[in-house]
Every structure is written in C-alpha cells, then in structure tokens.
Amino acid sequence: MANFISKSLGKKSPLRLILLPLLSLVILAVLSSVVLRSAFARIQGLREELENAQRDENVLKEKEIILKEVQQSIAGQAQVVALALPSENPALIVISQVKNLAFERALFPQNLEVGAETQEAELMSVPISFDMEGGLTEVLDFVKSLTSISPLSTIDKLAIDHSAGVSHAEITLKAYWADFPKELPALTETVSRISADESAVITNFSRLTPATFIEVSPEAPSGRSDPFN
C-alpha cells in the first residue's frame, strides 16, 4: 500500500535518493584522480624542462660573457702556448736552439743525436743528446740557458767531467709536443676563464727564449732577363 502510494506520488525510493549523489561523487573522484594526476605529471615534466632550459640559458650567458671578456687577449696567449708546446716533433727547432745558445758562448755541440719518440699520457717526447767541451763557467751558463728554451724542453741527464780546466759535458734533453685538441666542447657546455695559475704558466712560457727563424720575404715578380744578351 505504502509502495503504491509512493509510486503514485512520484516519490523516490531511499536507494535512488543517495545513488545519484554517490555516483556523481565516485565519478568526480575517478575524474580527479585521472585528470589531476596526469596534469600534475605534465606540469612536473614541464617544470623540469623549464629548469633545464634556464640552467642551459645561464650556462650560455656565462659562456658568452667569458668569451667576450677573453676575446682581445686570447689570440696572443694562444700564440705563446703554441710556440711553447707545438703539435709536431720539435727536435729540429730544439737542435737549432741548442746550437744558437752554444755559439753565443763559443761552445760547439758535438755528436748530436735524436732518439726514438716516446709517449706518456697525452705528451710526446723525444730525447736529444750531445756533448760539448769548454770552460766550466760557459758550460754551466749554457746548461742554465737550456732550461728556458721554447719549445718546452727539460734536461733529462747531465754529466760534466772537469779536468785540466776543461769541462766535458754530456747532455740529454727531452723535447715535448702534444696533439692539438680536436673537438670543441658542446655548445651548452661551460667554458672557464684563464685562472691565475694558468696565467702564471702563460707568463712563464712567454719568458722562454724563442727559436729564431729566418723568414724569406716574397719578392715581387721581375722581368725575365734575356739569356742570349
């Protein structure tokens, strides 16, 4: 009877009364979970991308500033370091340096020998040995001058025998070279300024005695003389 009256009055059953809001609540929960989670993940990804982009931008800005800062001075420094440590075997240049320094002191290097190339990590070296005779003062002065020649060379072994006022020296030098860097770092990779330590080394290199080369200047074309007159 009650059911009949409810139906005839269009009245909802108790189950139907809570079903609609419950269903909408469940749909909302599912929707929130799916939509908001996916949106959150996308925002997270976007934020990471933005942070990376800003980091790269800062690196690039810093790199641009550094490059503009060193633009003027770097050419001279590059020249100094290229002379100090060349990319090819500098044995001939070092021999030329040895002869020049020896002749300046009236000494004559003899038995000049160039040994086999050796590699240590990224550095290549070649031993250059020779003998000489002279006064102790001249020999010591010459040996000291060898410690500051360009390209970079070190004294590997030195033996001096003195008798009757004459010093006989046997000297082995090591001359160094190394391949030039082949690749530039990635565009977004940072570059560093020349540090104080590096500047000191460059100053040290600039004080090395440079090799003297005779530069043959090009001549202007001239008319060919007549060989029959």
Partner 1 sequence: MPQINLLPTDFGPKAPLARFARTLKYVSLVGLAVFLATSLVFLGIFLVNSASLKASLTRQNTIKENIKSLEETEQRLVFVHDRVSKGKAILDKDQATDSINNLTGLSLNQRLDVTPKSTEIKGENTELGLSVTNFLALTQLFSDLTGGNVYKQIDLESFSFTPLSGYEVGLTTINN
Minimum CB–partner distance for residue 214 and partner 1 (Å): 26
Residue 76 phi, psi dihedral angles, 5° rounding = -65, -40
Radius of gyration of the chain (CA): 40
Identify which of residues 5 and 216 has a Cβ nearer to partner 1 in the complex: 5
**Minimum distance, C-beta of residue 91 to partner 1, in the bound complex (Å):** 16
Minimum CB distance to partner 1 smaller for 66 or for 227: 66
Distance of alpha carbon 105 from alpha carbon 138, whole angstroms = 6
Q: Which is nearer to partner 1, 138 or 229 (CB)?
A: 138
Q: Which residues contact 129 (CB under 8 A, 6 or more apart)?
A: 111, 112, 113, 115, 170, 171, 172, 173
Which positions ≥6 away from 221 have C-beta within 8 Å?
none
Nearer to partner 1, 197 or 217 (CB): 197
Query: What does the alpha-carbon distance between residue 19 and residue 15 come to, in Å, rounded to a whole number?
Result: 6
Place of tokens 């009650």: 2
110/137 with CB nearer partner 1: 137
User: What is the closest distance, in whole angstroms, from the C-beta atom of residue 114 to partner 1 in the complex?
Assistant: 18
**Residue closest to 61 by CA, chosen among 162, 158, 217, 191:** 191
- The distance of closest approach from Cβ of residue 40 to partner 1 in the complex, given in angstroms and rounded to an integer, is 7
| Residue 218 beta carbon to partner 1: minimum distance, rounded to whole angstroms | 26
Nearer residue to partner 1 within complex by CB, 102 or 225: 102
Quote the distance between the C-alpha of residue 46 and its chain's center: 34
Task: Indicate the SS3 state at residue 6.
Answer: helix
Beta bridge partners of 125: 118, 176
Residue 122 DSSP class? T
Shortest distance, position 211 Cβ to partner 1, whole Å: 16
